C-alpha cells in the first residue's frame, strides 16, 4: 500500500528519493517523508498530503546527505497527518514501512514498559523502537534488525537508515514486495522496479522472509533463517517504465485512450491471426480435458473481469466456474476439487488478499494460473502459469486498460480451453478469433464518441445516486461502471442485474437518480429493453449505452444516449467498457475531483 525507497548514493540523494517516490505515489498519497544523514546525523522531513507538500518543504530547507530513505503513505493505523508520516525514528535509526504489524499493540506495551516513548498512532513506529531496543542491548545494526524481525507478525517491507552509518541500508520483506538495485549512482532499495527504473541497471527481488544489508560495495541477502543467500540479479529496462501523461490532462485519460493499442498488443500475444486460432504463449500445467472446475478469485475491478469471464468460460469451454472476491475466498475454507484450476487476476500482482487466495488454492492442490500485468510480481512468481496482460504500467489509481487487457486474456483462454476440451469446433474458434481481432478497432470507434459521453457525464455529475443496469456479461460491467463512478466522483452508485430491478431497486426510481442501461446487442437485448421500459414507465432518468437498434427498440424518453456501433460479438463488453470509463472520468473532471489519485485509495493494496 505504501511505497518505500532507500539510496546509498554518491551525490545528495533527496532529489532521487523524491523522483522514486513520485513513481510510487500510486501506492498511497496520504503523507510522505524522507530521512537522510546530514554530516552523519539522521535528519528527516515529512509532510501530510501529496508529495508536492514534501517537495515544498525540501525546497525551503534542502538536504545534502548521500544516504537516505523515503516513504509515501496509505494510512492503515493512525490518521494521515504529519506526526504519523514516515520515516519513524527511535534513538539512532529511522525506518520506513509498507504493510501492517499485526502484533504492534503487545510490542508497544512491552517496549513502553522498558522506557520507550511513542510519538505516533502508527503500528510502524514499533519497528523503530524494537530495533533500537536490540541496539541498546548491544547488537550491531544488522543483528538488531535480524533479531527484531523474529518478533514481528504481519505483512511488511521495511527499509532502515542508521545514525552515524553513512554506508549502510537494511531492507526486509515479508508479504510485501521489495527489490534491491545497482546503478552508476549507488545502490538502492525500492517497493518495485518502477521506482528504481531511473537509477538502477540491475535489480534483485527479495524472497519471502529475506532481509538485505546494503553498503556501496556489497549487497548481502539473508533468507528467513538468517543464512546468507544469493538472489538472482536481472537487468532493468528503463525504457519500459517510462511514465508520462503525453498530451493528456490525466494518466487515466491517457490509459483509456491507449486501450485499442494495448488490447491489440495483448490479443496478438495470444492469437494467431493468420490462422484464426488461439495460440497461448505458455504450456498449460494441466490436461484441460480432465479439468473439473475453474475457480476465480480477485479484488475490485479485477474481480469484475473474472465475473465477465465466467460467462465465457462456461459457454465456450463448458466448464463450471466458481468465483469469489479474494478477501472472502481466502477465509471461506472452500473445498476445492481434484483437477481444479484456480485463476487469480491482478493488475499489480501484489494484492494481499489475492495472493492469500492463491496460496490457499495452492495448498489445496489446484493448478494455479494468474493473469497479471507485472511479470515480476509476487503473484506471478508464485503461479504455475502466468498469463500476462500487456497493458504497460497503469498509473491512474482507477483501473482501465488493465481491466480490458484482463478481459482480452480471459477471452483467449476461454476459447483455448474450449478447443483443448474438444467442445469448440475449428470453425467456432475461427469465428470467435475474428470477433476478438475486431475489438481494438471497435474500441477506437467508441473513443470517438467522447464528446457525447462528456455531455452525459455532466448530467450524471449532478446526481447524488446512480443505478447501472446490465444483463449477461454487461451485468458485471454495470458493477464496474458503478465502482468507477464511486471511486472517481464519490457519487453513490450501484450496479444491478437488469432482471433484478423489479425485486427491490425499482422502488428507488425517480427523476433525481440517473439509471444507466448497458444494452449490447446480444440474445438478452429484448429483455434489457423491457427493463428499461419499466424504468421509463415510472418516470426514471434514463441513459442508454447501446446501438441504434437498441435506441429504437427502447422507444422511450431518454435523458442521454451514447450510441455504439452495432457489435455482433460475444466480446462486446470490451467495447462497452470504454464509454463506462469515460463517463466516470468526465463526471469526476467536471466535479473537480482528483482523477488520478482519488481520496483514500491506493493503486496497490498490499494489506488486508
Ligand atoms: O492490482 P489489482 O488488480 O489486484 O487490484 C485490485 C483492486 O484493488 C483494483 O482493481 C481496484 O478496485 C481499482 N481501484 C479499481 O479501479
**Ligand 1 contacts CB of residue 370 (under 6 A):** no
CA atoms within 13 A on the CB side of 140: 6
Q: How far is the CA of 123 from the centre of ligand 1 (A)?
A: 24
Sheet of strand 492-497: strand arrangement: 492-497, 465-470, 514-519, 541-546, 560-563
User: What span, in angstroms and rounded, lies between the C-alpha atoms of 542 and 561?
Assistant: 9
Interval between CA 526 and ligand 1 midpoint (Å)? 33
Is 398's C-beta closer than 6 angstroms to any atom of ligand 1? yes
Ranges of beta strands (E only) in 330-486 are 340-346, 367-372, 385-388, 465-470
C-beta 300 within 6 A of ligand 1: yes
- Read off the DSSP letter of residue 85: P
pLDDT number for residue 240: 47
Q: Which of 2, 299, 405, 412 is catalytic?
A: 2
The one-character DSSP state at 258 is: T
Ligand 1 contact, 347 CB (< 6 A): yes
Ligand 1 centroid, distance to 480 Cα (angstroms): 11
* pLDDT value for 555: 84
Nearest to 125 by CA among 18, 20, 33, 246: 33
Whether 405 is a known active-site residue: answer: no
Q: Which residues contact 95 (CB under 8 A, 6 or more apart)?
A: 69, 86, 87, 88, 89, 124, 127, 128, 131, 158, 159, 160, 161
120 Cβ inside 6 Å of ligand 1 = no
Task: Provide φ and ψ at 495, rounded to 5°.
Answer: -100, 140
For residue 299, give the ligand 1 atom closest to its CA. 6
Ligand 1 center from residue 298 Cα (angstroms): 9
What does R_g of the chain's alpha carbons equal in angstroms?
Answer: 25
Q: Residue 289 catalytic?
A: no
Residue with C-alpha cell 514486495?
A: 177
Query: 397: CA distance to ligand 1 center in Å?
Result: 8
Cβ partners under 8 Å of residue 133, min gap 6? 111, 114, 116, 148
Measured CA to CA in angstroms, residue 6 lies from 34, 149, 159, 179 at distances of 9, 18, 7, 10
Is the shortest distance between the CB of 354 and ligand 1 below 6 Å? Answer: yes
Cα 346 to averaged position of ligand 1 atoms, centre (Å): 7
- Return the percent helix, strand and coil in the chain, to nearest 5: 40, 25, 35
Mutate to test the pocket of ligand 1, among 27, 300, 484 (most ligand atoms within 8 A of CB): 300
Cross-strand bridge partners of residue 71: 4, 33
297 lines ligand 1 (CB under 6 A): no
**Burial tier of 494 (Cβ tally within 10 Å: 0-12, 13-18, 19+):** middle
Pocket probe for ligand 1: among 176, 353, 605, the residue whose CB has the most ligand atoms within 8 Å is 605
Q: What is the DSSP letter of 87?
A: P
Asked if residues 563 and 547 have their Cβ atoms less than 8 Å apart, the reply is yes
The residues, ordered by sequence, that sit 6+ positions from 79 with a Cβ below 8 Å of its Cβ are: 121
**For residue 394, what are the CA distances in angstroms to 98, 262, 282, 439, 499?**
20, 11, 24, 21, 34
For residue 177, what pLDDT is reported?
Answer: 83
Determine the distance separating the centroid of ligand 1 and the alpha carbon of 240, expressed in angstroms: 22
- pTM here is 0.79
Catalytic, out of 22, 254, 593, 603:
603
The residue contributing the CA closest to ligand 1 atom 4 is 346
Nearest ligand 1 atom to the CA of 351 is 4
Give pLDDT, residue 348: 94
Instruction: Locate the ligand 1 atom nearest the alpha carbon of residue 347 and give its number.
Output: 3
Helices 450-461 and 572-590: crossing angle in degrees, nearest 10, is 50
487 lines ligand 1 (CB under 6 A): yes
Query: Backbone phi, then psi, for 224, in 5-degree steps?
Result: -60, -30
Q: Which three cell numbers stand for residue 37?
A: 544523514
What is the C-alpha separation between 577 and 582, in angstroms, rounded? 9
CA distance 259 to 20: 26
SS3 (DSSP) at 98:
strand
Give the number of other CB atoms < 10 A from CB of residue 64.
13
Q: 399 in ligand 1 pocket by Cβ < 6 Å?
A: yes
Pocket test of ligand 1: the residue of 255, 302, 395 to mutate, having most ligand atoms within 8 Å of its CB, is: 302
E strand or H helix at 70: strand 67-73
Q: Report d(CA 93, CA 163) in Å as an integer.
A: 6
Of ligand 1's atoms, which has the minimum distance to the CA of residue 604? 1
User: What one-character DSSP code corresponds to residue 498?
Assistant: G
Any alpha helices (H) in 421-558, and if so which ranges? 426-447, 450-461, 474-489, 525-537, 548-554
Structural domains in the chain, sorted by start = 3-241 (3.60.20.10), 246-442 (3.40.50.10490), 449-596 (3.40.50.10490)
Q: Is the minimum distance from the CB of 342 to ligand 1 under 6 angstroms?
A: no
Q: Which of 27, 177, 299, 593 to mutate to test the pocket of ligand 1 (most atoms within 8 A of CB)?
A: 299
Q: Does ligand 1 have an atom closer than 6 angstroms to the CB of 373?
A: no
Of all protein residues, the one whose alpha carbon is nearest to atom 9 of ligand 1 is 300
Regions in the chain scoring below 70 on pLDDT = 1, 237-244, 246
User: Which ranges in 228-299 belong to alpha helices (H)?
Assistant: 251-257, 259-270
CA distances from 247 to 162, 252, 254, 602 (A): 43, 12, 8, 24
Minimal-distance CA residue to ligand 1 atom 12? 300
User: What CA–CA distance (Å, rounded) separates 321 from 312?
Assistant: 10
194 Cβ below 6 A of ligand 1:
no
Phi, psi of 592 (to 5 degrees): 75, 25
Q: What burial class does residue 608 get, using C-beta atoms within 10 Å of its C-beta: 0-12 exposed, 13-18 middle, 19+ buried?
A: middle
Residue nearest to atom 16 of ligand 1 (CA): 398
**Which mutation among 296, 330, 347 tests ligand 1's pocket best, with the greatest number of atoms within 8 A of CB?**
347
| Ligand 1 center from residue 398 Cα (angstroms) | 7
User: Which grid cell is 415?
Assistant: 476459447
Q: How would DSSP label each residue in 128-164?
A: HHHHHHHHHTT--HHHHHHHHHTT--EEEEEEEEETT
Amino acid at each position: 500500500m505504501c511505497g518505500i525507497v532507500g539510496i546509498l548514493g554518491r551525490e545528495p540523494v533527496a532529489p532521487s528519493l523524491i523522483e522514486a517516490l513520485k513513481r510510487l505515489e500510486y501506492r498511497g498519497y496520504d503523507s510522505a517523508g524522507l530521512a537522510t544523514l546530514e554530516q552523519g546525523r539522521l535528519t528527516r522531513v515529512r509532510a501530510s498530503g501529496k508529495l508536492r507538500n514534501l517537495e515544498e518543504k525540501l525546497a525551503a530547507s534542502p538536504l545534502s546527505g548521500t544516504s537516505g530513505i523515503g516513504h509515501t503513505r496509505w494510512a492503515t493505523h493512525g490518521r494521515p497527518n504529519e506526526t504519523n508520516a514516515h520515516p519513524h525514528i527511535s534513538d539512532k535509526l529511522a525506518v520506513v514501512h509498507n504493510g501492517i504489524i499485526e502484533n504492534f499493540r503487545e510490542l508497544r506495551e512491552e517496549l513502553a514498559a522498558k522506557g520507550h516513548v511513542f510519538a505516533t498512532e502508527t503500528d510502524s513506529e514499533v519497528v523503530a523502537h524494537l530495533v533500537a531496543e536490540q541496539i541498546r542491548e548491544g547488537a550491531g545494526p544488522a543483528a538488531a534488525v535480524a533479531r527484531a524481525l523474529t518478533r514481528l507478525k504481519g505483512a511488511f517491507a521495511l527499509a532502515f537508515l542508521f545514525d552515524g552509518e553513512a554506508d549502510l541500508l537494511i531492507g526486509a520483506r515479508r508479504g510485501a514486495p521489495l527489490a534491491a538495485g545497482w546503478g552508476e549512482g549507488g545502490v538502492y532499495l525500492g517497493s518495485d522496479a518502477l521506482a528504481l527504473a531511473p537509477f538502477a541497471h540491475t535489480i534483485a527481488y527479495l524472497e519471502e522472509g529475506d532481509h538485505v544489508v546494503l553498503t556501496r560495495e556489497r549487497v548481502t541477502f539473508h533468507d528467513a533463517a538468517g543464512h546468507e543467500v544469493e538472489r538472482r540479479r536481472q537487468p532493468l529496462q528503463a525504457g519500459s517504465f517510462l511514465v508520462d501523461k503525453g498530451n493528456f490532462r490525466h494518466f487515466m485519460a491517457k490509459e483509456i485512450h491507449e486501450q485499442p493499442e494495448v488490447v491489440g498488443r495483448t490479443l496478438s500475444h495470444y492469437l494467431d491471426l493468420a490462422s484464426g486460432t488461439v495460440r497461448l504463449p505458455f504450456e498449460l500445467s494441466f490436461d484441460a480435458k480432465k479439468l473439473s472446475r475453474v475457480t476465480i478469485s480477485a479484488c475490485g475491478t479485477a474481480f469484475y473481469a473474472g465475473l465477465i469471464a465466467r460467462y465465457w468460460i462456461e459457454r465456450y469451454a463448458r466448464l463450471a466456474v466458481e468465483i469469489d472476491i479474494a478477501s472472502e475466498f481466502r477465509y471461506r475454507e472452500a473445498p476445492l476439487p481434484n483437477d481444479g484450476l484456480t485463476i487469480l487476476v491482478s493488475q499489480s500482482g501484489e494484492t494481499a488478499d489475492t495472493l492469500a487466495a492463491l496460496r490457499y488454492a495452492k495448498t489445496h492442490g489446484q493448478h494455479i494460473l494468474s493473469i497479471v500485468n507485472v511479470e515480476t510480481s509476487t503473484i506471478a512468481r508464485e503461479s504455475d502459469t502466468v498469463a500476462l496482460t500487456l497493458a504497460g504500467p497503469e498509473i491512474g489509481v482507477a483501473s482501465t486498460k488493465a481491466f480490458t487487457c484482463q478481459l482480452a486474456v480471459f477471452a483467449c483462454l476461454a476459447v483455448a480451453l474450449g478447443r483443448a476440451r474438444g467442445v469448440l469446433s475449428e470453425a467456432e474458434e475461427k469465428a470467435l478469433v475474428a470477433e476478438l481481432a475486431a475489438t481494438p478497432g471497435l474500441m477506437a470507434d467508441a473513443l470517438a464518441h467522447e464528446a457525447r459521453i462528456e455531455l452525459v457525464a455532466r448530467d450524471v455529475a449532478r446526481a447524488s445516486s446512480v443505478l447501472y443496469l446490465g444483463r449477461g456479461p454487461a451485468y458485471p460491467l454495470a458493477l464496474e461502471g458503478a465502482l468507477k463512478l464511486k471511486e472517481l466522483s464519490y457519487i453513490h452508485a450501484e450496479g444491478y442485474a437488469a432482471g433484478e430491478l423489479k425485486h427491490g431497486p425499482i422502488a428507488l426510481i425517480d427523476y433525481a437518480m440517473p439509471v444507466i442501461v448497458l444494452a449490447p446487442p446480444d440474445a438478452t437485448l429484448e429483455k434489457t429493453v423491457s427493463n428499461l421500459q419499466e424504468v421509463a414507465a415510472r418516470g426514471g432518468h434514463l441513459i442508454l449505452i447501446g446501438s441504434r437498434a437498441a435506441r429504437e427498440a427502447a422507444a422511450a424518453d431518454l435523458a442521454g444516449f451514447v450510441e455504439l456501433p452495432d457489435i455482433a460479438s460475444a466480446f462486446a463488453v470490451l467495447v462497452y467498457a470504454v464509454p463506462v470509463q469515460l463517463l466516470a472520468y468526465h463526471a469526476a473532471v467536471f466535479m473537480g475531483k482528483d482523477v488520478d489519485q482519488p481520496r483514500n485509495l491506493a493503486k496497490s493494496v498490499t494489506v488486508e
